[in-house]
Amino acid sequence: MIKRTIFGIVSSFCIIFSANGQASAQSNEDLVNLEKIVPAAKKYIGVPYKYGGTTASGFDCSGYIRQVFNEVGVSLPRTAAEMYKKGTSVSKSDLHVGDLVFFNTTGKPASHAGIYIGNGQFIHASSSKGITITNLNDPYYWGPKYIGAKRIVASQLDEGQFRDIATSFWAHDEIKKLAQDKIALGYEGDYFKPHEEITRAEVAALLAKALKLNMSNRTQSFKDVPASHWANGAINAVRSAGVMQGGQDGNFRPEDVLTRAQLSAVLVRAFELNSSAGATDFTDVESEHWAHTYIEKLSASGITTGYADQTFKPENDVNRSQFAAFLYRGLEK
């Protein structure tokens, strides 16, 4: 992953970063995945506040933001004051998930900052509560001290609109709804990458958000998912919920992609699907196939209809648009 470096490290005690310019199709592979920000941020909930802190033993506001953005591939400067000089100003009514919000808490501009996570909420290092989620419009303290917001990860379109998702695209409606619900946010520059294969870590993160699971457990449960991994909290959440597990070797394989058969097992557990009545009899899923029962239940629920030739293609890898459609249908059940 290529990190975006933000220059101008200053001395102040709350840090944030800045973004480089507008994303382009030519650098598509290096675009920041916006869906990583909330899981990376929420796994630190409960960590105490520490003046000048930059580690999970204790954060100040800018130290926390810097850590979160570092995990998703963006390098930021060290202070909130410097962060406030970066990015593009956005109005309060146009905030997107991942925007930085700033406050005057000491009589000096931009003395505190947080990360906007949607629905009028931001996550930050509070001097009294540590890493916590707060209402941006709190009338007693934060609302009056709000001074503005900056967009660090480039985006110009409204939430739910993507440059690579035409209105005629087969999964347009599902992707748009998931984006508007602050679940599937796509990439920097308003791209969704619908044909890109989705990894196990990314599936865990989207499911943890969609199912509103607690992502604050940073315990290293798998040998290949350290506490510093952006999806560690989300992976622990789906593991605890019985939705996804690792292998007998103690690894989770976060960068592996999922086949359609593997995803069927995950979705059956996630949405607690029990009935096989009315399932399609797919011609390429024999009764002896390890995922036969899962695929039957997924089909019976209406989450999958398979392909026009009555196949399911269980060994095919799942891409982002296919997962979005499955997830949307599961949430609508």
Which residues are known catalytic residues? Answer: 61, 112, 124
Question: What token pair was written down for 221?
Answer: 């449960």
Residue 73 · residue 229 · CB < 8 Å: no
Q: Which residues contact 214 (CB under 8 A, 6 or more apart)?
A: 237
CA dist 284 and 151 (Å) reads 47
312-326 core/surface letters (b: 16 or more CB in 10 A; e: else): bebeeebbbbbbbbb
Question: What token pair was written down for 61?
Answer: 């506001």
Return the beta strands (E) in the chain as ranges.
4-5, 54-55, 58-59, 74-75, 88-90, 100-103, 112-118, 121-126, 130-135, 146-151
Token look-up 């005629």 returns: 168
CA dist 293 and 219 (Å) reads 33
Q: Which residues contact 110 (CB under 8 A, 6 or more apart)?
A: 14, 80, 81, 83, 84, 102, 103, 104, 147
CA dist 254 and 199 (Å) reads 7
DSSP secondary structure, 181-223, as one string: TTS---BTTTB--TTSBPBHHHHHHHHHHHTT---------BT
Nearest C-alpha neighbor of 253 from the set 218, 225, 226: 225
